[in-house]
Amino acid sequence: MSKWLAMALLLSFSQANAQIEKEKNVKAFEFLSNADSKKAGKALEFKKGAVVSAHPEATAVGVEILKKGGNAVDATVAVKFALAVVYPNAGNIGGGGFLIYRSAKGELNSMDFREKAPALASKDMYLDANGDAISEKSKEGHLAAGVPGTVAGMVALHQKYGRLKWAELVEPAYQLATKGFKITKQQANELNRLQNKFKQFNPLGTVFIKQEVEWAAGDLLVQTELANTLKLIRDKGRAGFYEGEVANFIVEEMKRGGGLISKEDLKNYQAAWRTPIIGSYRGYKIITMPPTSSGGIALVQLLQSVEAFPLSKWGHNADSTVQVMVEAERRVYADRAKHLGDPDFWKVPQKELLQEAYNKGRMANFNWNKATPSSEVQAGEFARKESEETTHFSVVDKDGNAISLTTTINTSYGNYVVVKGAGFLLNNEMDDFSVKPGVPNYFGLVGYEANAIAPNKRMLSSMTPTILEKDGKLAMVVGTPGGSTIITSVFQTIVNVIDFGMDMQKAVNAKKFHHQWLPDRTDIEPDALTPEVQQKLEAKGYTFYKRSSIGRVDAILVTKKGIYQTGADPRGDDTAGGW
Ligand code: DON
């Protein structure tokens, strides 16, 4: 090579490098300012499209797809798979979820890609010989896993509404798994905390195990086995996951650890399109998730229960506001425990629960001077006709198509089992069934016959992906993880915007509280209530329980000028992006 050629190459190489460095810096700066703005409660605004997700890399993937001409559905599919790589604690291909879709023209739809109990599951599978619940079995290890729904859901969503090619949407996730990504501080802490669990449930090893040193922020996480699985999904769609190599890996993993998922379970899994729940609140139309999630029905019940009260006059987290909202929550969660379950197996009294008169009537018997003990609140009676970790993201494209999607493998890192050979974590969603009437699950929720385990049945969820409309136009896209607190977090975020006039970021940042009937206590984030408000309520018999954080809401508000205003939750690494 001549000296000149070598110099020219060196020059162009260093120029290219300088360009890459510059782009990296811009990206780093964008995310830094994003982090600052969300902590300061300052909403970001975008004109042509927005994505708010739990991880900066996943948000960046979604924004790229929108810029390339993809619609909100394309961006959703790409973000969903990207989260499976960069947010393994909840983003997944080994779990399931729910989504609400609203097209720019106002077409509404919702999809249930919730996991199902394997065909070999049975009602008492988590009880010992005395009939007592063996609590870890539904929460950890192979037996806790339901049949995953994510890949089937994304394929069905893309087939119906996608614009770009499928392979183009899975490719960014494949690249992230192959080349690796830098883990955040929160992720390093979580991975270090769970080392013993990963070792216990993965005797053959997994990339999440670090032998000598601890994980640190900025470490590169390369997931070669997961990359191969994503390549198969990219090239073969549904068959790349539910059949062939990956299905074999799942079934082998089940055999190793005593799990129940079979090849037939995988082949038979189908996501379900369902009719969204429609409600209204102070002139807004609420479009939200029907069963198998309890979230939508409960959200509309809560909004109906408080609509007659002047919350905006009382103020955000004022004693009367908290009292009315807590009393509504207590009553609605009692209904949830008794009446909600997989609609393919259980006749949910949906119409009855959504009657305005019913919910207003339930509020009539509360006493301003004294907390209603939960023991005095029972689910409504209707004539029966026979018959901690999740993640949410919100996407809007330039035409105004919108998706609100919540997905999970249940608790953080699911059942801790990484399918050997396929490189992804399985869910512990079986714990969302009522393993025994009245026995609380991980989130303290109780359930009865409606949510008992049965073969091929879906377990009840609290996930509440929701879209709001005002005067026929898109108004808000909202949702959150948080187990049983999902419903009350979405409820408060909506009220924060509609009643208290907060912008999207402030509504997300605002401190939250939560009541779920049982246990009879109100959970509160630090500083959610002033000492005076707390004392006033304690004097009436309310008890409070401090929690470090409640929910991680990622939401988009459409301003009067038609601008997309984002709210990314500062409680996590959540990041807004757009263009
Ligand atoms: O479906 C449900 O309601 C639960 N499996 C959600 C779990 C969850 O949100 C955990 N996240 N923090």
SS3 readout for 292-350? CECHHHHHHHHHHHHCCCCHHHHCCCCHHHHHHHHHHHHHHHHHHHHHCCCCCCCCCCH
Contact yes or no for 169/114 (Cβ under 8 A): no
Tell me the best of 408, 441, 488 to mutate to test the pocket of ligand 1, counting ligand atoms within 8 Å of each CB and taking the most: 408
Contact yes or no for 145/415 (Cβ under 8 A): yes
Which comes out higher in pLDDT, residue 168 or 14?
168
Confidence at residue 33, expressed as pLDDT on a 0 to 100 scale: 46
Instruction: Look up tokens 């195990």; give the residue.
Output: 209
Instruction: Give residue-wise pLDDT tens across range 138-192.
Output: 999 999 999 999 999 999 999 999 999 999 999 999 999 999 999 999 999 999 9
Determine the distance separating the centroid of ligand 1 and the alpha carbon of 54, expressed in angstroms. Answer: 15
Is 548 among the annotated ligand-binding positions?
A: no
Is 408 among the annotated ligand-binding positions?
A: yes
Instruction: Look up tokens 């229960």; give the residue.
Output: 305
Give the separation between CA 57 and CA 88, rounded to whole angstroms: 13
DSSP symbol at 180: -
Flag whether pLDDT at 196 surpasses 90.
Answer: yes
Tokens matching residue 423: 């490189």
Determine the distance separating the centroid of ligand 1 and the alpha carbon of 369, expressed in angstroms. Answer: 34
Confidence at residue 29, expressed as pLDDT on a 0 to 100 scale: 35
Is 278 among the annotated ligand-binding positions?
A: no
Q: What is the mean pLDDT of residues 317-346?
A: 98
Q: H or E element: which one contains 474?
A: strand 473-478
Which comes out higher in pLDDT, residue 26 or 470?
470
Instruction: Look up tokens 């300052």; give the residue.
Output: 42
Q: 302 falls in which pLDDT band (50, 70, 90)?
A: very high
Q: What is the mean pLDDT of residues 23-41?
A: 56
SS3 state at 359: helix
CB atoms within 10 A of CB 539: 11
- Angle (CA) 18-20-24 rounded to 5° is 115
Atom 1, ligand 1: residue with shortest CA distance? 461
Tell me the best of 186, 410, 435 to mutate to test the pocket of ligand 1, counting ligand atoms within 8 Å of each CB and taking the most: 410
Contact yes or no for 331/325 (Cβ under 8 A): no
Confidence at residue 26, expressed as pLDDT on a 0 to 100 scale: 37
Measured CA to CA in angstroms, residue 373 lies from 11, 199, 399, 518, 534 at distances of: 75, 44, 49, 10, 17
Using CA atoms of 198, 424, 84, 22 in order, give the dihedral in degrees to the nearest 10. 80
DSSP symbol at 136: G
Question: Is 390 among the residues known to form the active site?
Answer: yes
Measured from the Cα of 552, ligand 1's closest atom is: 12
Tokens matching residue 169: 């949407």
Tokens matching residue 13: 């190489």
Which of 151-155, 372-376, 388-392 is least confident? 388-392
Contact yes or no for 182/86 (Cβ under 8 A): no
Determine the distance separating the centroid of ligand 1 and the alpha carbon of 208, expressed in angstroms. Answer: 22
Say whether pTM exceeds 0.85. yes
Flag whether pLDDT at 219 surpasses 50.
Answer: yes
**483 C-beta closer than 6 A to ligand 1:** yes
Flag whether pLDDT at 392 surpasses 60.
Answer: yes
Give the separation between CA 291 and CA 276, rounded to whole angstroms: 9
Give the separation between CA 439 and CA 539, rounded to whole angstroms: 30
CA-CA-CA-CA torsion sign (410, 396, 173, 576): negative
Q: What is the mean pLDDT of residues 15-23?
A: 39
Atom 5, ligand 1: residue with shortest CA distance? 410
Flag whether pLDDT at 7 surpasses 90.
Answer: no
Catalytic residue, from 59, 390, 406, 493: name it. Answer: 390
DSSP symbol at 247: H
**388 C-beta closer than 6 A to ligand 1:** yes
Closest CA to 207 of 186, 231, 181: 181
Give the separation between CA 187 and CA 165, rounded to whole angstroms: 32
> For the chain, what is the mean pLDDT?
93
Using CA atoms of 80, 82, 86, 92 in order, give the dihedral in degrees to the nearest 10. 40
Q: Where are the alpha helices (H) located in 162-243, listed in sequence order?
A: 166-179, 185-193, 195-201, 224-236, 239-242
Kindly give, in sequence order, each residue whose CB lies less than 8 Å from that of residue 125, ignoring residues fewer than 6 positions away: 137, 143, 453
**486 C-beta closer than 6 A to ligand 1:** yes
Give the separation between CA 88 and CA 562, rounded to whole angstroms: 34
**462 C-beta closer than 6 A to ligand 1:** yes
Determine the distance separating the centroid of ligand 1 and the alpha carbon of 390, expressed in angstroms. Answer: 5
Q: What is the mean pLDDT of residues 281-310?
A: 98
> 199: burial class by Cβ within 10 Å (0-12, 13-18, 19+)?
middle
Measured from the Cα of 485, ligand 1's closest atom is: 9
Q: State residue 406 phi and psi, 5-degree precision.
A: -120, 135
Closest CA to 407 of 490, 476, 465: 465
Determine the distance separating the centroid of ligand 1 and the alpha carbon of 375, expressed in angstroms. Answer: 25
Determine the distance separating the centroid of ligand 1 and the alpha carbon of 463, expressed in angstroms. Answer: 7
**389 C-beta closer than 6 A to ligand 1:** yes
Closest CA to 411 of 437, 438, 432: 432
Cα within 13 Å of Cα(572), Cβ side: 31
Measured from the Cα of 411, ligand 1's closest atom is: 10
Q: H or E element: which one contains 56?
A: helix 56-67
Closest CA to 339 of 377, 285, 291: 291
C-alpha 512, offset from chain centre: 17
DSSP symbol at 11: H
Closest CA to 104 of 473, 404, 394: 473
SS3 state at 402: strand
Confidence at residue 41, expressed as pLDDT on a 0 to 100 scale: 80
Flag whether pLDDT at 5 surpasses 80.
Answer: no
Tell me the best of 83, 443, 485 to mutate to test the pocket of ligand 1, counting ligand atoms within 8 Å of each CB and taking the most: 443
Determine the distance separating the centroid of ligand 1 and the alpha carbon of 432, expressed in angstroms. Answer: 8
Confidence at residue 292, expressed as pLDDT on a 0 to 100 scale: 98
CB atoms within 10 A of CB 259: 21
Flag whether pLDDT at 14 surpasses 90.
Answer: no
Is 282 among the annotated ligand-binding positions?
A: no
Instruction: Give residue-wise pLDDT tens across range 473-532.
Output: 999 999 999 999 999 999 999 999 999 999 999 999 999 999 999 999 999 999 999 999
The order of strands in the sheet holding 513-514 is 513-514, 522-524, 544-546
